[in-house]
Amino acid sequence: MGRFASTVEFYTRFREQYPAEFFRSIAQRIGLTGDEQLLDVGCGPAPLAIGFAPFVRSCSGVDPEAAMIAAAKEAAAEAGVALSLTHGRIEEFTSEHKFDIVTIGRAIHWMDRDSAVRVLEEITVDGGHVVICGASSAETDGSPWVKPYDVVRRRRAMGPEEKRYRLDSKLWFEGSQFEVMDSVSVSEGLEVTIEELIGRALSKSNTSPEVLGAQRAEFESEIAAVLKPFAHEGKLLDRVVAQATIFVRKGR
């Protein structure tokens, strides 16, 4: 079983979603015309490829987890998006054509940096873009539950690999043929339930069902207990902030 196999059912249902305005803002910022080819690297269930689909000509995705590829196929079919998928790692990815835009969400910390950058430089057109994306809940006056929730989750997640999640994408691309062009941030308010936030925690690789093992029930109880004081009629307010750092490929 791959590292992310046990997260799939929770990832597709409960992971923080990118607002529609997020995709529009990036499309406008980099001047997408609808004729571009896009590759979503470490695509998971392909939320980025599906979100950008209305703004490009074709979408492809690559992911090393077979279960994620299956989830991406299902999500694309449900969204009515034609999506070409490859099961494999970006480090070994080959393509007959180059891409105008490459998206990466929550994945560069799992890649071999030198090999991945080499492939990205090869498959991205001159003047093309790599967009590093992420979405997370922000602690606000309306969502004071975020910090205690994160404390409980991170207490279970702490380990020698925890530092990889704090990787800086700007440093990751330093010395490559990609340079920072811009950044985009879009937020959206919504309501969530305690059950949904438990599912969100289980969608994370470092607090996945596989990682938790026999401690899963105890972990879920801890999450529920810390969230309950903040819930009103079973709901909590959430402010999801989607962020992107846009890199442009310099000419050869």
**pLDDT for position 148:** 97
The Cα-based distances of 114 to 70, 80, 128, 198 in angstroms read 28, 35, 19, 36
Task: Give the integer Cα–Cα distance in Å for 106 and 44.
Answer: 10
Ramachandran assignment for 43, one of left (phi > 0), alpha (psi -120 to 50 degrees), beta (any other):
alpha
For 61-108, what is each residue's pLDDT tens digit? 999 999 999 999 999 999 999 999 999 999 999 998 899 999 999 889
pTM of the model: 0.92
Listed in order, strand segments (DSSP E) in the chain are 37-41, 58-63, 83-87, 99-105, 124-137, 178-193, 235-249
Task: Give the integer Cα–Cα distance in Å for 197 and 228.
Answer: 11
**pLDDT for position 166:** 62
For 107-164, what is each residue's pLDDT tens digit? 898 899 999 999 999 999 999 999 999 999 999 999 999 999 999 998 887 555 555 5
Domains of the chain: 5-249 (3.40.50.150)
The distance of Cα 167 from the centroid of its chain, to the nearest Å, equals 14
**Tokens 């959430």 sit on residue:** 238
| pLDDT over threshold 50, residue 1 | no
For 42-64, what is each residue's pLDDT tens digit? 999 999 999 999 999 999 999 99
**pLDDT for position 130:** 98
